[in-house]
Structure 1
């Protein structure tokens, strides 16, 4: 069943939260995951998938994960690509999900309003990316039609960046600077 305002199906919220947070001084998931879950849920994502790795035990003990599909990434040290592959593979098990909204756990300036804007354009063939004063950022909505290629090509700590470059003509940039801030916590 389609969600209101989401053409062609449901959009899963996918939170990448497996890193060890070297620059931050430790895993960020225990500190920021609860906020990321609320932003995606309030923005209209359903279901919500969180990929954990470093600090998984502490995160499970301190964050309310009710209603969230939590997936542990044993290969988290390989980089963000391993979490993205795992998240897309998890989302693919739900045939009613036509896209995923990929959100990084360490971006507390992202708002539910920004997520809602992205979801309004989501569809199985879409590539939708938030931008802030014209600069591309996160979250990024990846339509189901792109998942197989992304899963087979992503490597290291780059996520879907190369895929978005290869398909730049298809990427729908959505300005969000008026309702959100696109920094990650290491930039503050």
Structure 2
């Protein structure tokens, strides 16, 4: 069995939402607690959460869970810094990781089965990247082999990991994950989520 960690990105300011979307209520939890529970119910070990904006409000919501919490002091420079900080921290505390999954707080329909499916495909194929495909997009949640950790740590600005997916497109296995199409960026997105659930 491969050792695969999970990094949940929760550092953004959610400017389009106008308030911390990590704390929006969904199915009796807030989005951050929901994401953490899903991660812990998956076969990913360990689970690390990267906080930034609103860290002081969000941290108490997940303190009780057995997850590693990392505050990214330069979260304002963009998502790349949170990915980089997350990879560094998870690598330091777990030297035998084969791969890492990068997930988001604002994709509430993602279940532990999705994370487990990414890991299963990775074990079957040993592709360097196993990504989610939805709405003609290839994106996250996505699994990255340890050979890519150095490059993930070198990402800069507001680029997520898609730059690596483009660079190594021959190594990417994209699997249909329609649930990944739902991400909560605006009050309108949130309203649609509540109506649909």
Counterparts of 2:66 and 2:60 in 1: how far apart (Å)? 15
Greater share of helix:
2
Alignment-derived partner of residue 174 in structure 2: 173
Give the Å deviation of 1:64: 4.8
Q: 2:150 aligns with which of 134, 148, 151?
A: 148
Q: Distance in 1 between matches of 2:144 and 2:68?
A: 19
State the 1:161 CA deviation. Answer: 1.2
Q: Provide Cα deviations, 1:77-114, integer angstroms capped at 9, x if missing partner.
A: 00100000001111212122111110011111212211
For this pair of structures, how many residues does the alignment match?
Answer: 178
8 Å CA contact retained: 1:126, 1:170 = yes
Task: Give how far 1:137 is off.
Answer: 2.8
Going from structure 1 to structure 2, the CA distance change for 1:65 and 1:145 (only over 3 Å counts) comes to: farther
**Cα-Cα RMSD:** 1.8
CA distance in 1, matches of 2:50, 2:138: 23
| Structure 1 unmatched ranges of 5 or more | 3-8
Aligned to 1:135: 137
Distance 1:75 1:131 in 2: 30
Post-superposition Cα deviations, 1:33-76, rounded to whole Å, max 9, x if no partner, equal 11111222222111000000111111122335421000000001
**Structure 2: runs of 5 or more not aligned:** 24-29, 190-197
Indicate conservation of the 8 Å contact 1:17/1:28, yes or no. Answer: no
